[in-house]
């Protein structure tokens, strides 16, 4: 995302939601300009997540976060489309607390829900911004999911908000 002259891009982690199982997964969001495609394996829970993204003009992909079970659903974002919110459910599944369902809302519409909408609902919003990446935990299923959000802010606005957890890039 390019910022207007004098604006700053701030990145913030939102979440995560889900359980504590599996191993940590994280996208390095440096240089990512947009998410291109999201692949979700799902059945009674979210089996796996894979994300194709654009970094410095080249397509890259995460590894598959999770297992190979369930049905595969994919969606490709239009060049000017971006994710504005990730919603879902988390709850127990065969003794593990995992992500049970996911729905991706964009500035153009929505994709999903994928999985089973059972358990505790959650939302990972990109208020006044866009989802630029993901982090979480996974093993045989997607245990936990969080998002990275990029927002364009005026430098004074950033000082007023005092969000120290933001990663900041200045565009002149």
> What pLDDT was estimated at residue 1?
41
Q: Is residue 57 part of a domain?
A: yes
Cβ neighbours around 119 below 10 Å, total: 20
Structure pTM? 0.86
> What pLDDT was estimated at residue 7?
72
Sign of the Cα pseudo-torsion (61, 62, 63, 68, in order): negative
> What pLDDT was estimated at residue 116?
97
First vs last C-alpha separation in the chain: 14
> What pLDDT was estimated at residue 166?
46
Q: Which two tokens stand for residue 95?
A: 């003794």
Q: Is 24 exposed, middle or buried (0-12, 13-18, 19+ CB in 10 A)?
A: exposed
Q: Is residue 1 part of a domain?
A: no
CATH number of the CATH domain containing 12: 2.100.10.30
**DSSP secondary structure letter of residue 99:** E
> What pLDDT was estimated at residue 9?
77
Let me know: does 16 contact 142? Beta carbons within 8 Å: no
Number of domains comprising the chain: 1
Q: Is residue 52 part of a domain?
A: yes
The DSSP H or E segment spanning 133 is strand 130-138
Q: Is residue 119 part of a domain?
A: yes
Q: Is residue 2 part of a domain?
A: no
Domain span at residue 57?
Answer: 8-165
Q: Is residue 172 part of a domain?
A: no
Q: Is residue 171 part of a domain?
A: no
Mean pLDDT, 10 residues at a time, the chain of 172 residues: 61 93 96 96 98 96 97 98 98 96 98 97 94 97 96 63 46 36
Cβ neighbours around 113 below 10 Å, total: 17
> What pLDDT was estimated at residue 118?
97
Cβ neighbours around 81 below 10 Å, total: 17
Q: Is residue 126 part of a domain?
A: yes
Cβ within 8 Å of residue 83, ≥6 positions away:
35, 77, 104, 105, 106, 126, 130, 131, 147
């Amino acid at each position: 995302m390019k910022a207007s002259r004098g604006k700053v891009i701030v990145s913030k982690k939102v979440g995560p939601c889900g359980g504590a199982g599996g191993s940590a997964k994280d996208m390095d969001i440096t240089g990512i300009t947009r998410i291109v495609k999201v692949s979700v394996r799902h059945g009674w829970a979210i089996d796996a997540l894979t994300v194709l993204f654009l970094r410095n003009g080249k397509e890259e992909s995460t590894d598959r976060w999770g297992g190979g079970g369930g049905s595969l659903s994919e969606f490709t974002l239009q060049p000017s489309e971006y994710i504005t919110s990730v919603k879902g459910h988390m709850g127990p599944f065969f003794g593990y607390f995992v992500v049970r369902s996911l729905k991706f809302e964009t500035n153009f519409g929505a994709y999903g829900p994928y999985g089973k909408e059972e358990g505790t609902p959650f939302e990972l919003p990109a208020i006044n911004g866009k989802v630029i990446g993901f982090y979480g935990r996974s093993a045989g299923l997607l245990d936990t999911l969080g998002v990275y959000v990029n927002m364009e802010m005026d430098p004074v606005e950033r000082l007023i908000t005092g969000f120290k957890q933001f990663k900041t890039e200045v565009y002149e």
